[in-house]
Amino acid sequence: MSGSQRIAIVGGGVIGLSVAWRLARADQRVVVFDRTRAGGGAGRVAGGMVAPISEYGFEDDAFLELGADSLRQYPEHLLALSADSGIDIGFDGRGALAAAVHRDDVEAMRRVYDFRAHRGLPVEWLSGSEAREFEPLLSPRVTAGMWTADDCHIDTRKLLDALVAACRKRGVDIREDEPVTRVAVNGGRVLGVETAKGTEVTDSVVIAAGCRSADIAGIPESAIPPVRPVKGQILVLRGAPGCEFRHVIRAPEAYVVPKKDGRLLVGATQEEMGFDETPTAGPVMRLIEKAWEVLPSIYECPFESVEVGLRPGSRDHLPIIGPTAVSGLHFATGHFRHGILLSPVTAQAVCEGVTRGRYPASVKAFYPGRFSSAPARHGSEN
Amino acid sequence: MSGSQRIAIVGGGVIGLSVAWRLARADQRVVVFDRTRAGGGAGRVAGGMVAPISEYGFEDDAFLELGADSLRQYPEHLLALSADSGIDIGFDGRGALAAAVHRDDVEAMRRVYDFRAHRGLPVEWLSGSEAREFEPLLSPRVTAGMWTADDCHIDTRKLLDALVAACRKRGVDIREDEPVTRVAVNGGRVLGVETAKGTEVTDSVVIAAGCRSADIAGIPESAIPPVRPVKGQILVLRGAPGCEFRHVIRAPEAYVVPKKDGRLLVGATQEEMGFDETPTAGPVMRLIEKAWEVLPSIYECPFESVEVGLRPGSRDHLPIIGPTAVSGLHFATGHFRHGILLSPVTAQAVCEGVTRGRYPASVKAFYPGRFSSAPARHGSEN
């Protein structure tokens, strides 16, 4: 398929809007549906790390490559986004410092370090005192650190506001408070989407509905993406005198991200609680405790709020990007904790896939088809 | 002095409004000045305990007597208040359970128990299992408890809203956003108060400005009440399944008050931070931790907010009630953590003092004059 298509995007979060904006820049006619307000979703409640190396645990290399590719695209992505939106998003690239106090944590960090160093990644092992040279406010009890100079982070609220503005500038039709109730499919080909207001006939449909991507009717049972909500609670503190942290600090069970506007984000829990979005007392206590252990001056920081996001976790915690068995139906979901990082590369891949009918090789490992040998849901497929 | 006076009350918190309402019911012409909104102050951010026994540490007996007297007045006080305001405040009298896990805490609780039991107060010592019969959700690690059946608590927001409404009903002139800048005094006699809007000529002035009572100009240096702000942070959680607590629970460094509207109040810190009213991360962590230690199901409770109040702490942490060396100038301040409990008895005493020129004997121990042998402030008194 070539020329200008009419394309529906289901979901106006960081992935849906990035895809929509990219398609609109490629002269496609795009309509984005969001169940509430566009520019929300899990990406709005996020540390905003753009850090492929630090996000790289023991996954396969395709994941690392995808993240690195996305990071390479970020500067140009943000430049174009600022030009279209008039919003300067900023890009904070001062690096990230992992820090550990207890012996088990140091050993776990060492295994990660060895794995990354073996892959030739630019990570640096530090003694406690070396770590405190990078970040003087680190606790004297920190005994080891790992420095990753390439880690960046951004203000995700500005990113999302800019995406909304840039989409509008490029003529994307954004429909808010209009949930898609069904994907219309006939004879193995997508026909459009249905909402309470009627049917939107389109050439292609991109499902970018985050943790709700599995709950849209009309998708054939065997093609339903296996995503679930993974609850994340994050604290918004405010920097105080004595809390002028220079870098992102990663403690064993919490991270601290100092934003240029003075906010200190302390994240994040990973809880299997279904669609529950309630802040709760225990996780608030734990996040403060874990951050305070490596950064004692956190104790005096003004407490602003608790925010909750529902990340879309896939069955293997890797993103789901690509075509489906239904012609014209595409997925861009399951980004779990990596939606901000992976939004440029996802938008680029989906744009190519939808407009040229051919996805770049880099996303082949993340095709929806990888789950098709097993049923996507429990129960009968009849 | 007899007949109808014109009386200015400085401060529209729980003490100022209780005094104003009582005076208005005694046919006095009352004007209340508040620097912001009437019905605020430290009392609004409070557990709302009406618990003279539990609040009785090792102070002298006059304090216990004053609290017990106030508790005796409470039912009639609330009845009249409901009649005047149309607001049903409620009075939760299900008792309070102190609980301790660690040996040091048990021993400290035992000393308090022995002291109270020796005074003949109705307190009961409980084993851990006995305590869990009172409150089944108590942690299995709780090894001892102390039961105080007489403890009550109320919803302080309703109490304050009712006081505002009742004052208005009785013709009290409530001036909001109008801070008193000076008490006008001449020849050892009060003349009225000054605000940015002008001078209010009155027969009497009652200073009920809480932690700001020492900062009003015009009071002779030797009569300035020695009160300071004692910061209290309190958490508002919401009861969840498994958190249906029956009683007020007092842990060694936190208390949990289950309100009938479903809120769970977890309080409170005591911090010497001047007039700082910022919620901070460390105390939030500590309050949850201390409550969670005795009530583990707190962990899952929805987290609503952190509130901060500034209690008026006097030099000896006892209230300051009574006449001053300046004729017509009265104090009703320094109630520290006991403003809610002591509001009826304070209102009654000040009403008698102002209208009949004679305070009841029960407040003699709390007269402002007890501080006069020492200068109220550092520095010269010239």
How close is the nearest chain A Cα to the Cα of B286, in Å? Answer: 8
Angle at A66 between CA A61 and CA A72, to 5 degrees: 125
**Minimal-distance CA residue of chain B relative to A235:** B281
Residues of A in contact with B280 (CB under 8 A): 299-303
Q: Residue A72 — pLDDT band, cuts 50, 70, 90?
A: very high
Are the beta carbons of A303 and B235 separated by less than 8 Å?
A: no
Are the beta carbons of B303 and A284 separated by less than 8 Å?
A: yes
Question: What b-and-e string marks burial along A275-290, b requiring 16 or more CB atoms within 10 Å of the CB?
Answer: eeebbbbbbbbbbbbb
The reported pLDDT for the residue numbered A380 is: 36
Q: Does A281 touch chain B (CB under 8 A)?
A: yes
- Tell me if B381 sits within 8 A of B375, measured CB to CB: yes
The reported pLDDT for the residue numbered B381 is: 34
Share above pLDDT 90 across residues of chain A, in percent, rounded to a whole number: 91
Q: What is the mean pLDDT of residues B184-188?
A: 95
Q: Residue A132 — pLDDT band, cuts 50, 70, 90?
A: very high
Pairing of strands A248-251, A227-238: unpaired
Q: Residue B315 — pLDDT band, cuts 50, 70, 90?
A: very high
Measured between alpha carbons, how far is A265 from A117 in angstroms, rounded to an integer?
28
> Which tokens go with A33?
């549906």
Share above pLDDT 70 across residues of chain A, in percent, rounded to a whole number: 97
pLDDT at A171 exceeding the cut of 60: yes
Indicate the average pLDDT of chain A: 94
By three-state DSSP, how is residue A229 classified? strand
Measured between alpha carbons, how far is B113 from B108 in angstroms, rounded to an integer?
9
- Tell me if A311 sits within 8 A of A336, measured CB to CB: yes
Nearest CB partner across the interface for B285, out of A278, A280, A289: A289
pLDDT at A363 exceeding the cut of 50: yes
The reported pLDDT for the residue numbered A381 is: 34
Q: pLDDT, tens digit, for every residue of B207-242?
A: 999 999 999 999 999 999 999 999 999 999 999 888
CA B337 vs. chain centroid, Å, equals 5
Q: What is the mean pLDDT of residues A316-324?
A: 96
**Minimal-distance CA residue of chain B relative to A284:** B285
What ipTM was estimated for this complex?
0.90
The reported pLDDT for the residue numbered A57 is: 82
Are the beta carbons of B282 and A302 separated by less than 8 Å?
A: no
Q: Residue A243 — pLDDT band, cuts 50, 70, 90?
A: confident
Residue, of A249 and A93, whose pLDDT is higher: A249
pLDDT at A379 exceeding the cut of 60: no
Q: Which of B351, B289, B342, B279 is nearest to B322 (CA)?
A: B351
Q: Does A162 touch chain B (CB under 8 A)?
A: no
The reported pLDDT for the residue numbered B117 is: 95
Interface of B with A in 316-335 (CB under 8 A): none
Q: pLDDT, tens digit, for every residue of A188-227?
A: 999 999 999 999 999 999 999 999 999 999 999 999 999 9
Q: Does B292 touch chain A (CB under 8 A)?
A: yes
Q: Residue B168 — pLDDT band, cuts 50, 70, 90?
A: very high
pLDDT at A377 exceeding the cut of 80: no
Q: Does B196 touch chain A (CB under 8 A)?
A: no
How close is the nearest chain A Cα to the Cα of B248, in Å? Answer: 18
Lookup result for tokens 């039709």 = A173
pLDDT at A1 exceeding the cut of 60: no
Dihedral of the alpha carbons of B192, B194, B198, B200, in degrees to the nearest 10: -20
Nearest CB partner across the interface for A285, out of B280, B285, B302: B285
Q: pLDDT, tens digit, for every residue of A96-127?
A: 999 999 999 999 999 999 999 999 999 999 99
The reported pLDDT for the residue numbered B2 is: 53
Q: What is the mean pLDDT of residues B254-277?
A: 96
Residues of B in contact with A298 (CB under 8 A): 281-282
Q: Of A87-101, A337-351, A356-370, B52-66, give the lowest mean pLDDT range.
A: B52-66
Q: Does B235 touch chain A (CB under 8 A)?
A: yes
Q: Of A143-157, A268-282, B1-15, B189-203, give the lowest mean pLDDT range.
A: B1-15
Give DSSP secondary structure letters for A264-280.
EEEE---B--TT----B
Which residues contact residue B313 at a Cβ distance below 8 angstroms, ignoring those fewer than 6 apart? B211, B227, B228, B229, B230, B334, B336
Are the beta carbons of A282 and B302 separated by less than 8 Å?
A: no
